[in-house]
A and B are shown apart, each in its own frame.
Chain A
Amino acid sequence: MVEQAVDGIRIEGLRKRYGSGDTAVDALRHVDMQVAPGEVVGLIGPSGSGKSTLLKCLGAVIEPSGGRMTLGGQAIYADGWRIPDLRSLRRDRIGFVFQAPYLIPFLDVTDNVALLPMLAGLPNGEARRRARELLEALDVAHRASAMPAQLSGGEQQRVSIARALVNRPPVILADEPTAPLDSERALAVIRILNQMARQFDTAIIVVTHDEKIIPTFRRIYHIRDGRTEEEAGEGRGFE
Chain B
Amino acid sequence: MISLAGRDILHAWGKFVFTGVGLGLLIGVTLTMAGVYRGMVDDARALLDNSGADLWVVQQNTLGPYAESSSIQDDVYRSLLGMPGVARAANVTYLTMQVRQGERDVRAMVVGVVPGGLGEPGQPPYLVAGRHLTRGHYEAVADLASGFRLGDRVQIRRNQYTVVGLTRRMVSSGGDPMIFIPLKDAQEAQFLKDNDAIVRQRRRTAENPAFDRPGVPGLLDAVIATQSVNPYVNAVLVQLQPGFDAEEIAEPIRRWQRLQVYTRGQMEAILVGKLIATSAKQIGMFLVILAIVSAAIVAFIIYTLTLGKIREIAVLKLIGTRNRTIAGMILQQALGLGLIGFVVGKISATIWAPFFPKYVLLVPGDAARGLLAVVVICILASLLAIRAALKVDPAEAIGG
Contacts and interface: CB of A to CB of B under 8 A. Distances in A.
Interface string B1-44: 11010011011100000000000000000000000000000000
A175 interface: yes
B217 interface: no
B399 A99 contact: yes
A98 B319 contact: no
Contact of A61 (B8, B321, B393): B393
Q: How large is the interface on B (under 10, 10 to 19, 20 to 34, 35 or more residues)?
A: 20 to 34
Interface residues of A, number: 30
A88 B393 contact: no
A101 to B, nearest CB: 10
Contacts of B325: 119
A59 to B, nearest CB: 7
B157 to A, nearest CB: 71
Interface in A69-118: 87-92, 96, 98-99, 102, 104-107, 111, 115-116, 118
A55 B312 CA distance: 19
Contact of B398 (A56, A104, A116): A56
B258 interface: no
Query: Which of A55, A61, A88, A89 has the largest number of chain B CB atoms within 10 A?
Result: A61
B395 A56 contact: yes
Interface string B217-230: 00000000000000
A88 B320 CA distance: 6
B395 A61 contact: yes
B137 interface: no
Query: Which of A59, A102, A124, A147 has the largest number of chain B CB atoms within 10 A?
Result: A102
Query: Which of B2, B322, B325 has the largest number of chain A CB atoms within 10 A?
Result: B2
B248 to A, nearest CB: 71
Contacts of A91: 319-321
Contacts of B10: 106
A106 B4 CA distance: 8
B399 A104 contact: no
Contacts of B315: 98, 102, 104
A65 interface: no
A29 interface: no
A106 B2 CA distance: 12
For the complex of A and B, the 9 pairs showing the least CB-CB separation, nearest first, are A91-B320, A106-B11, A61-B395, A106-B8, A90-B320, A87-B320, A102-B315, A61-B394, A106-B7
27 contacts: A52-B400, A56-B398, A59-B318, A61-B398, A87-B317, A87-B322, A90-B318, A90-B394, A91-B319, A91-B320, A98-B397, A98-B399, A102-B311, A102-B312, A102-B397, A104-B315, A106-B4, A106-B7, A107-B2, A107-B4, A107-B7, A116-B319, A118-B2, A119-B1, A119-B322, A124-B1, A124-B2
Given A61-B394, A98-B315, 18 more contacts: A56-B395, A59-B318, A59-B398, A61-B395, A61-B398, A87-B320, A87-B322, A91-B319, A91-B321, A96-B319, A102-B397, A104-B4, A105-B11, A115-B2, A119-B320, A124-B2, A147-B11, A175-B399
